[in-house]
Amino acid sequence: MKHTPTPWFIKRHDTTFKIESLATSPTITEWRKSNPDKRQDTWEGTSVCELSVRYNGSGDKFGPHQIISTEEVEANAAIICHRVNNFDAVVEALENVLRDTSECSCSTISPFCSHCKARAALKLAKP
């Protein structure tokens, strides 16, 4: 399973934060290929998810009116967005290291070998 391609960015709409991708999703790309006669200039980028402020609809008896603040929602959106962008950059760097260096001669994964550590990290990143 692959996630929506990076880079991702955040758009704010009042108390809702949308994480979007600059890339067009594979689903839209496939749709465009199979529907060449339909309008093709829609969906520049892809909506990944929305995070929004949550409210307590039961009143003060059961807690504060606003359960999660706008600032907290924005911070959550930022951490999701930036971690995914950084994750893809690190995976690409590890792939480049493995491609540009010769294979190690370790019989098992060694905690002291950079090549072994890069290979193990990629195995976790791309199951």
pLDDT band at 78 (very low <50, low <70, confident <90, very high): very high
Q: How many domains in the chain?
A: 1
- Tokens representing 7 are 């880079």
- pLDDT tens-digit profile of 24-53? 666 777 777 887 777 655 555 678 889 988
pLDDT in tens, 98-127: 887 777 888 777 788 878 888 888 888 776
Element (H, E) at 49: strand 46-52
Q: Is residue 40 part of a domain?
A: yes
- For residue 50, give every residue at least 6 positions away whose Cβ sits within 8 Å of its Cβ, in sequence order, or none: 16, 17, 18, 19
74 falls in which pLDDT band (50, 70, 90)?
very high
In a domain, 60, yes or no: yes
- Structure tokens given for 120: 């193990």
Three-class SS state of 56: coil
Answer whether residue 1 is part of any domain: no
Task: Establish if 2 belongs to a structural domain.
Answer: no
Domain-located, residue 3: no
Range(s) of the domain holding residue 109: 8-125
More confident: 17 or 127: 17
